[in-house]
A and B are shown apart, each in its own frame.
Chain A
Amino acid sequence: MSIRTAGRGLSPPGLLFAMLGAAALALPFMTLSPNRIVSGQGVAAWAVAAPGIALPGLAAVLAGLVLGLAAAYPKLRLAGALAGLAGLLWLLSQGAAALLDGAGEYARVSPAAGFWCLGLVLMLQVADAMATLRPGPGLRALLLAAFLAVLAAILWSGLLSDLSVMVEYASRARAFRDATLRHLGLAFGSLAAAGVIGFPLGILCHRQATLRGATLPVLSFLQTIPSLAMFGLMIPILGWVGATFPAARAVGIAGIGFAPAFLALVLYSLLPVVANTVAGLASTPPAALEAARGMGMTAGQRLWQVELPLGLPVILAGLRIVLVQNVGLAVIAGLIGGGGYGTFVFQGLNQTATDLILLGALPTVLLALVAAIVMDILVELARRTPETTP
């Protein structure tokens, strides 16, 4: 796993990336279409702009892939990947401006398969180099913050505003902001609700085997129901509640919109929260628990001072599952009028408007990735004390 076992000379993953990257260069890099709906014409990477502009970008991408071959120097591989990504960005921004020049008022340019594949290959190279370098949680947090800052700066600067998806964004900036808030509200709100219900339930289940035996199968049964069916089934239930109890209707509980989506997400979240709380609390070494009891700790002291601190990494891992899962599932809310990024995704699918799909799907993916990375860092921080006794 270390650099040494990987051998000197050429890195096998690097070789794979270089070959895939070279193949991806042959694919169309960008698409130019006369308007928003019609499918367009692919343009190769070297043809997106005048050679004087395109060549430096291409050179950076190729250099990045070549640097990725150096097995013994993971930092060089990382730098190469970043240079390659910068090259891609250069080609994309310069290419968009060049292609749009004189292409008509409604013309749209968007990244095509070649761009996505090269981006993916270079991101994998980043991931591979990082897996070898193994940065600690603090450094990882710093790198994530730096990445997000650069991304924000790029979007803010208008470097990519010629791109079709950004044009789409520009015409929906307000709706996008609302969708973001709603999406976050759904994902984090349901996480919080699931925590409020799930932690006490998990602690009770840990204490009582009969309750555990009854609860966990029911929760995993809920988890099995396909999301669209679950969201759909919430509609009649909450519709009935809203219609029957005026008080419920007054706080906004109805068959359509936020409430059914929220409830569905909470139900999906309960299994990971409860199961991981139980598993985390059960991970306390039996001898430590016996000693705690023998020294005169009360049940509450044992829970707060011994079981919870020792179970924290596992409990946080459960929250990671929930958060990532909910960010993704919240998209379905778009189908039942619950808002969030799903609104754009499904509108886009309806209108066969690729850019609208991307406007919904890309932030969702980014949000899920960031949530996963942040939670991974938290889990690792919680694990910091040596937890295994030889």
Chain B
Amino acid sequence: MIEIDAITKCYDGQPAVDAVSMTVESGTITAIVGTSGSGKTTLLRMINRLVEPSSGEVRINGQSTREEKPHLLRRRIGYAIQGHGLFPHQTVARNIGTVPRLLGWSKDKVRERVDELLRLFSMEPEEFRDRYPAELSGGQQQRVGVARALASRPDLLLMDEPFGALDPIIRTRAQEDLRQIQQKLGSTIMLVTHDMEEAIRLGDRVAVMDGGKLVQYGTPAEIIAEPASDFVAHMVGDVERPLRLLSLLPLGDLVEEGEAEGEPLPAEASLREALSACLWNGKQAVPVERDGKVVGRVTLDAIRARAGHHG
């Protein structure tokens, strides 16, 4: 559990981060989202003390981060940044092994861990171990960057716009990969992004920052359905709010008895996909299947009612 307690950073008397408090559960992804200058990156960098807080403190599993030397603290917190920050003069294996080497792991243990991580990120160790960063594609570089951050099995992984430098298609894949790997490893991740869509897609919880203050902290559904302020509503995108909400809700919730024509959708699919299917086929309803069996339908009217529920 990460507890952030009234943490503040002032530059020349101006607060860049103003008394932010939040608690992050272990094994979850928390997305900190905000415009540039909102203080989101400063907040993240105070957690591993790349920026020293002016006041307040951070506790990781109950222990204050101030009790440890900053560089020792950072070695047990993973850190991945935009543009990956790989060392251009070192091979992929050396890059990934950086923190384990700093921690004094044996050579064999480092090598084993590197291969394990490469496989986890679907990169064949034999093929990639001895390459240099310049010889990788953008997506591969980004994966190596995340693998490097995870190398020492850190308590917490901090990511600053980790997908910022990727083009849209690769970015979506990278986001899915991160989700999967996080679920597999059960890691705790805090990531900073300016992209609300990314925050909603990845975060178990979303923290919205504005002007150095934490303006809302909640689940994606809460953020979309009940924005705490006009700013949050604007960040979510007023026009697209219904669609964003629908994309978070599974079909299963609205299944009703009845027949419908067309290709059935699985119950885990989102209402947004169902809406899309209805509009595309020009039908009033779409069949829903569970374990390969059609169990009912979802009507356009029901979707409309659900989307407008909060309007």
Contacts and interface: CB of A to CB of B under 8 A. Distances in A.
27 contacts: A287-B81, A288-B86, A289-B85, A290-B50, A290-B81, A290-B85, A291-B86, A291-B87, A291-B145, A292-B87, A292-B98, A294-B48, A294-B81, A295-B99, A295-B148, A295-B149, A296-B71, A296-B74, A296-B75, A298-B71, A385-B90, A387-B88, A388-B134, A389-B86, A389-B133, A389-B134, A390-B134
A296 B133 contact: no
Nearest to A385: B89
A385 B88 contact: yes
Nearest to A286: B85
A311 to B, nearest CB: 10
A387 B135 CA distance: 10
Nearest to A388: B134
A287 B84 contact: yes
A166 interface: no
Chain A, interface residues (CB within 8 Å), range: 20 to 34
Question: 10 closest Cβ contacts across the A-B interface?
Answer: A291-B85, A296-B74, A294-B79, A386-B134, A296-B75, A287-B85, A296-B71, A287-B83, A386-B132, A385-B89
Interface string B241-284: 00000000000000000000000000000000000000000000
B82 interface: yes
A155 to B, nearest CB: 42
A293 B90 CA distance: 16
A70 B189 CA distance: 65
B38 interface: no
B86 A296 contact: no
Interface residues of B, number: 33
B102 interface: yes
Interface in A287-338: 287-298, 301, 305-306, 309-310
Contacts of B87: 288, 291-292, 305-306, 310
A288 B88 contact: yes
A304 to B, nearest CB: 12
Nearest to B98: A295
Given A290-B81, A291-B148, 5 more contacts: A288-B88, A295-B98, A296-B71, A385-B88, A389-B88
Given A386-B134, A389-B133, A296 B81 contact: no
Contacts of A291: 79-81, 84-87, 145, 148
B204 to A, nearest CB: 23
Contacts of B79: 291, 294-295
**Residue of B79, B99, B138 ringed by the most chain A CB atoms within 10 A:** B79
B88 A388 contact: yes
Contact of B75 (A289, A295, A388, A390): A295
Interface string B144-168: 0100110000000010000000000
